[in-house]
Chain A
Amino acid sequence: SQQGEEDPQALSIQEGENATMNCSYKTSINNLQWYRQNSGRGLVHLILIRSNEREKHSGRLRVTLDTSKKSSSLLITASRAADTASYFCATDAGRDDKIIFGKGTRLHILP
């Protein structure tokens, strides 16, 4: 069963614009992670935010976490064609050290 649910399911934006994806989850977590997957390939770990953190940055990525609303957002600034991919949030509830993925947001950057 999915713990995280990304929104929107698909997003198309012009190159240079910012892209925002959201993730909602159901139970308390130890941390939340974001991954990127290029078509049919393995997932690439982007960023991990712990439950006691509210915001984290990595290059053009900004992740926020609101544990009271059980939600997270991933912002990609100044998007590039290479950002075209599917983005997944994954939650780690910590009890058994496994992470559960949402169904992902398909991001398409238009030239």
Chain B
Amino acid sequence: KAGVTQTPRYLIKTRGQQVTLSCSPISGHRSVSWYQQTPGQGLQFLFEYFSETQRNKGNFPGRFSGRQFSNSRSEMNVSTLELGDSALYLCASSFGGYYGYTFGSGTRLTVV
């Protein structure tokens, strides 16, 4: 079966711009989580969606937002980009907590 698909794979943006990243989960998975990975902070939880509802949110500013559609696909948006937003953004989908998460290959965002 198809894995978790994240698009685009690479992105270069300028400070102050906004960006939208997309994630298509494994068919049947209704939970989608987003993580930011940087060398300094490691993997930081951004938010989790389940059946189009945000169930959890990490400790990130309001510039980071997301949504989930009825087909479980999810998008995350970052507005007013800062240099510190440069990171690998990972999406993961799951049936639920006891089944582990399947991760996409990530979107590498570079802010210049």
Contacts and interface: CB of A to CB of B under 8 A. Distances in A.
B106 A41 contact: yes
Given A2-B42, A42-B4, A97-B55, A33 B105 contact: no
Interface residues of A, number: 26
Nearest to A44: B103
B81 interface: no
B33 interface: yes
A69 interface: no
A30 B97 contact: yes
B68 to A, nearest CB: 14
A40 B39 CA distance: 10
In which size bucket is the chain B interface?
20 to 34
B100 interface: yes
Interface in B36-75: 42-43, 45, 48, 50, 55-56, 59
A69 B14 CA distance: 47
12 contacts: A2-B42, A31-B98, A40-B88, A41-B106, A42-B105, A44-B103, A48-B99, A97-B55, A98-B33, A99-B101, A100-B45, A104-B42
Given A40-B88, A42-B105, 9 more contacts: A44-B103, A45-B102, A97-B50, A97-B55, A98-B55, A99-B33, A99-B101, A103-B42, A104-B42
Interface of B: 4, 6, 31, 33, 35, 42-43, 45, 48, 50, 55-56, 59, 88, 90, 92, 96-106, 108
